[in-house]
Amino acid sequence: MALSCKQIWFGSRTLSPSRDSIDSEQTAFLISAEEITLQHSRAPAKTRIDPRIVSDTIIGLSDGLTVPFALTAGLSALGNTNVVIYGGFAELIAGSISMGLGGYLGAKSEVESYKASQVDTQRKLMMHPAAVNNDVKKILDDVGVSHKLSEQVAKELTEGDEKRLLKFLMHFEHASPEPPSNRALTCAFTIAMGYFIGGFIPLLPYFWVGQDEVQRGLQWSAGIMVLTLFVFGYLKTVVVQSWEVVWKSIRGGVEMVVVGSIAAGAAMGLVVLFSRGGADAN
C-alpha cells in the first residue's frame, strides 16, 4: 500500500500509513505533519522538573529529617552539646554516603535491567520476526486501533528501521523508557544531598547554645523540626498530588510530625534507659 506524508500520532512515536486508505473510524489517529508542527509551535514552553529527581529528593529529605533528628535528640540526654554536634555530624556524613550509595546501586540496576530487556528484544527481532509482528498488532489492538490499521502499522514497523521498531517495543511492550546515562550519579547525589540538608537542620540550634545548655538546644531543635517536618509533609503531598488537596496536604504534614516525634522520643528514651543502666551497674 502506498504511503503518504500523513502520519499517525501514537504516544511519542509517529507512524505513517496513508490517510486515504483508512476508513472514517480510524481518522482519529491521524494528524498531518503540518498540523503537528503547528501544534508544537503554538504550545507554550513548559519547564518541568524530572519526576525522578523529585522522588529522590523526597527520599533523601524524608530520612534526613527523621533519623538525624532522632539521633541528636537521643544524644542530648547525655547533657553535652559537643557530643550532640560531633555525633550528629558523624551520622550525617555516614548516612549521606550510605543513602547515596543505595541510590546509585538502585539506579544502576535499573539501567542494567533496561539493557538486558533491550538485548532480549533485539534477539527476538532477529530470531522471531513473526512473533514481533504479532506483538505490535496486539499493542495497537489493546488501545483500540482497528485491526486493519494495526496490520498496516505493524507491517511498516517490522519492515522498516529496526531501531525504530526496537524503541517502539521497549516503550509500549515493556513500558520501559530508556534511562539517562547519568541517572545513577544524579540519583546518588540527589539522595545524599537531600539527606545531608534535612539532617543538618536539627543540628543548627546546638551551635547557638553553650556546652552545658543542651536542653535549651533540644527545645529549639524540636520546635524547628516540628515546623520543618510539617512544611515538608505538606509540600511533599502537594508535589505528589496538587495544591487543591488542602486537607490531604495538612494530613501529610501532621503525619510527618508524628513519625519524627515518635522516632526522636524512642531514641531519647533508649539513651536515657541505657545511661541509667550503666550508672546502676557502676
* 13 and 87 both lie in a single domain: no
| CB contact at 8 A, 209 and 216 | yes
Q: How far apart are CA 249 and CA 222, in angstroms?
A: 21
Structurally, the chain folds into a number of domains equal to 2
Region 225-234: mean pLDDT is 88
CA angle 23, 24, 27 (to 5 degrees): 95
- Spacing of C-alpha 146 from chain mean position: 36
Q: Does residue 101 have a pLDDT over 80?
A: yes
β-partners of residue 10 are 13
Task: Tell me, yes or no, whether 93 and 19 share the same domain.
Answer: no
Phi and psi at 21, nearest 5°, equal: -90, 0
Rounded to whole angstroms, the Cα distance separating 171 from 163 reads 12
Residues 243, 222 share a domain? yes
Same domain for 2 and 94, yes or no, is no
- Eight-state DSSP code of residue 212: T
Q: Which three cell numbers stand for residue 141?
A: 489492538
Range of the domain at 77: 51-110+184-274
**Residue 158: inside a domain:** no
User: CB neighbours of 205 closer than 8 A, spacing ≥ 6?
Assistant: 217, 218, 220, 221, 224
For residue 230, being part of any structural domain is answered with: yes
Q: C-alpha grid cell for residue 137?
A: 498488532
Q: What is the 3-state secondary structure (H, E, C) of 235-250?
A: HHHHHHCCCCCHHHHH
Judged against a pLDDT cut of 90, whether residue 94 lies above it is answered with yes
pLDDT of residue 192: 96
User: Is residue 102 domain-shared with residue 16, that is, in the same domain?
Assistant: no
Walk across the sheet containing 7-10 and list its strands: 13-15, 7-10, 30-31
Cα distance between residue 43 and residue 69, in whole Å: 46
Q: Give SS3 for 7.
A: strand
Same-domain check for residues 268 and 192: yes
Range 56-80 average pLDDT? 85
Residue 163 lies in a domain: no
Long-range contact pairs involving 166-169 (C-beta distance under 8 Å, separation at least 24): 166/118, 166/121, 166/122, 166/125, 167/13, 168/13, 168/136, 169/121, 169/125, 169/132, 169/135, 169/136
Express each pLDDT in 170-197 by its tens digit.
877 777 777 887 889 999 999 999 999 9
Mean pLDDT, all residues of the chain: 76
Percent of the chain with pLDDT over 90: 17
- Residue 84 forms part of a structural domain: yes
pLDDT of residue 208 exceeding 70: yes
Question: What is the Cα–Cα distance from 18 to 30, expressed in whole angstroms?
Answer: 9
Q: Is 136 inside a domain boundary?
A: no
Task: Say yes or no: 225 and 259 in one domain.
Answer: yes
In a domain, 124, yes or no: no
pLDDT, average across residues 46-56: 71
